[in-house]
Amino acid sequence: MTQFEHDSIQGISSDKQDASTLEEAKRKGVNSAPEYEDPFGNEEFADVKYRTLYWWQCGMIMIAETISLGILSLPSAVATLGLVPAVILIVGLGLLATYTGYVIGQFKLRYPHVHSMADAGDVLFAPLGLARFGREFLGTGQLLFLVFIMGSHLLTFTVMMNTVTNHGTCSIVFGIVGLIVSFVCALPRTLRKVSWFSFASFGSILSAVLITIIAISIQRPGDGKVDATTKTDVATGFLAVTNIVFAYAGHVAFFGFISEMQNPKEYPKTLFLLQGTDTCLYVIAAVAIYVYGGKDVKSPALSSTSPITAKVAYGIAIPTIVIAGVINGHVASKYIYVRLFRGTDLMQKRSFFSIGSWVGITFALWIIAWIIAEAIPVFNNLLSLITALFASWFTYGLSGIFWLFLNWGKYGESKRKMFLLVVNLLIVGIGGCLCGMGLWVSGKAIHEDSSGASFSCSANSG
């Protein structure tokens, strides 16, 4: 047999195998054509390469994205719920977030083409013949969630500037400054470039929290009374719970992060690095600041010390206030970018059109985030609304649905599977409860809170 004949037979065999794989995928309702098996295509000769992250780099990005604004609301949540219930919730929800994050990784390994919640929606709804609906439904939810988080970072930026400058100018001006800074930092197209910001972000929030803990332990603005439990109404208590949930609300971006890892199979190490770090830091910061700050501890927590110390803490926290928002903004922009240019080589080029498209998408999303920040100018209320609408599902409920989908028809195979079936049904229920109750309490709080006015020049530093 000649070499030509051998190559021809091999090529025909390969083609048949690809066709068989594609046909099987279509039969199962999964969009996994060979060119979409990886969201960024073949990068061998690409000008811009995306799959470049080591597991520890991805871990630092996830830490920077997750450990940011959420930690600043935890001491007030402890004051509302009491020390014992709050610690149980912080640790318990952290462990649950670790499990749901692991399920997301398993889903990604089963369907490597999934780059976003929209792709996951395509997979979930395809067996029902509703793949397009699932894609648009979850994709829109993911995009809105990320834009709302971006808005919360712009809101915190205005709080920081008002604190540092003693309300030196109109709060709207500070918001626009935050918008410009965030937009400029979000211009790099790959996460590897953004990853170097994550070290500064984590060091920033860690330093700011430590300064606050040390200062508040010396100044002791509280009355020295620590309540193991407290009496509170359902609405106020559940509002505090939603703020704890928000502290773990990074899962929405996990598919995108895994897609840019060199070896996605190392994702569990990345996840454990994140969850071990954030849970420990959350417990320490929340308890320490509450113990010395008392029942009237403020949110964001950096405002709980003396004016001078608060200025120092906010100044040091500037990198995380900006960078954590930038990472969420990057994921939001990347979702639209990949959606527009997937299957082409435009993402991998440094052409005027590809770069201009990225800049335009990024700028538009930050404008929308700024509008949200100006419309809901109260920190806790904005976090609660975000949690109710999105984090309830993307961090918890949806992962339960992923597990049920991955194990369809196998629920009774073993006692372990039966136990996990109950666990994941409970997770779906938790997501639904957080969504329904959260919408009620956040809507009630926004309606009744008169401490902030939309699109106002007044100070919002508490």
Amino acid 40: pLDDT: 77
462 within some domain: no
Amino acid 79: pLDDT: 93
Q: Are 41 and 343 in contact (CB under 8 A)?
A: yes
pTM above 0.75, yes or no: yes
343: left (phi over 0), alpha (psi -120 to 50) or beta: left
Pick from 253, 252, 288, 376: which is nearest to 74 by CA? 288
pLDDT of 173 > 90? The answer is yes
- What is the rounded average pLDDT of the residues 220-247? 87
44 within some domain: no
- Please report which confidence band the pLDDT of residue 1 belongs to, taking 50, 70 and 90 as the band edges: very low
Tens-place pLDDT, residues 333-353: 999 999 898 878 888 888 999
Neighbours of 54 (CB within 10 A): 15
Q: Alpha helix locations (H) across 294-389?
A: 307-341, 352-375, 379-386
- What is the rounded average pLDDT of the residues 423-444? 92
Give, in degrees to the nearest 5, the angle at Cα 430 between 429 and 436: 90
Number of domains composing the chain: 1
CATH code of the domain containing 410: 1.10.4160.10
27 within some domain: no
Q: Which of 163-167, 298-302, 313-317, 434-438 has the lowest mean pLDDT?
A: 298-302
Percent of the chain with pLDDT over 90: 57
Amino acid 215: pLDDT: 93
Amino acid 379: pLDDT: 67
| Average pLDDT across the chain, whole number | 86
Q: For residue 259, what are the contacts with CB-CB under 8 A and spacing of at least 6?
A: 38, 39, 40, 50, 51, 108, 115
- What is the rounded average pLDDT of the residues 135-146? 93
Pick from 26, 94, 38, 123: which is nearest to 347 by CA? 38
Q: Are 95 and 278 in contact (CB under 8 A)?
A: no
Q: Alpha helix locations (H) across 111-187?
A: 117-125, 131-165, 171-185
Q: Which of 29-33, 113-117, 247-251, 322-326 has the lowest mean pLDDT?
A: 29-33
373 within some domain: yes
Pick from 248, 243, 240, 237: which is nearest to 96 by CA? 248
- What is the rounded average pLDDT of the residues 243-267? 93
Amino acid 403: pLDDT: 97
pLDDT of 13 > 50? The answer is no
Burial label for 392, CB within 10 Å (0-12, 13-18, 19+), is buried
Amino acid 343: pLDDT: 75
For 180, the domain range is: 49-448
- Please report which confidence band the pLDDT of residue 167 belongs to, taking 50, 70 and 90 as the band edges: confident
148 within some domain: yes
pLDDT of 33 > 50? The answer is no
